[in-house]
Amino acid sequence: MKILLTGASGGIGSSIKEVLSENNITVQSLTSKDIDLSKPFVFEDDTIYDGLIHCAGKNIVQGYNEVSYDNINLISNINTNSFITLCKEVRLSHGSNIIAIGSLWSVRTKERRLAYTMSKHALHGAVKTLSLEMSKNNMKVNMISPGFVDTKMTRLNNSEEKIKNINDYIPLGMVPPQEIANLCMYMITKNNFITGQNIVVDGGYSNRSF
């Protein structure tokens, strides 16, 4: 089995690559040096893949009165539009599973996340529509949306006190990246009838009231 993976250099992406590789799945990872997902591109690869995982993502933290059209388009291109292009152009075998890595902000939002939230909501809409259009080839298209994931980047961008507060607020605590990778492993190798869904993996965060 051979899988195409974007965003393999990040905390979640690297964990996905590691788990799949440990289970004898060949992972072809795309980096920004291979393809610039921030603008229209052509995917020139005749390899037939057995699945696609789009983990590449971009977030710029800005309020509505700061955000520019250029940044909205940049985030949209990387998070959403590139996924659609890959679904169109990657040669996928019959019955393949396709996974878009979304975000908790595909179902919720917070201040200063306008462009990012828009892109992840749009990605969910794309997943639902593609699940219908690609079903004729028995392809399943789903989204996995992590909440707060315990990656090196998360710890780099937050103080120890902030990390503790996040952990205390989430019923099951921050999500280890391996949990996202394990779910990807199942969906890529075992899933036959789940399609068009957004599976939120947030340790129960979204169940809490304000």
Please check whether residue 52 lies inside any domain of the structure. Answer: yes
Please check whether residue 39 lies inside any domain of the structure. Answer: yes
The mean per-residue pLDDT over the stretch 20-27 comes to 98
User: Domain with 111 in it: what CATH number?
Assistant: 3.40.50.720
How far is it, in rounded angstroms, from Cα 32 to Cα 61? 21
**pLDDT tens, residue by residue, 126-184:** 999 999 999 999 999 999 999 999 998 788 778 999 999 999 999 999 999 999 999 99
Q: How many CB atoms lie within 10 A of CB 129?
A: 13
Q: How confident is the model at residue 210 (pLDDT cuts 50, 70, 90)?
A: low
Please check whether residue 210 lies inside any domain of the structure. Answer: no
Please check whether residue 171 lies inside any domain of the structure. Answer: no
pLDDT the model gives residue 149: 96
60's tokens = 């710029």
* Domain interval for residue 97: 2-148+177-197
Please check whether residue 116 lies inside any domain of the structure. Answer: yes
Is 120:143 a contact under the CB 8 Å cutoff? no
Which amino acid, residue 135? S
Is 128:134 a contact under the CB 8 Å cutoff? no
> What does pTM read for this prediction?
0.96
Count of structural domains, the chain:
1
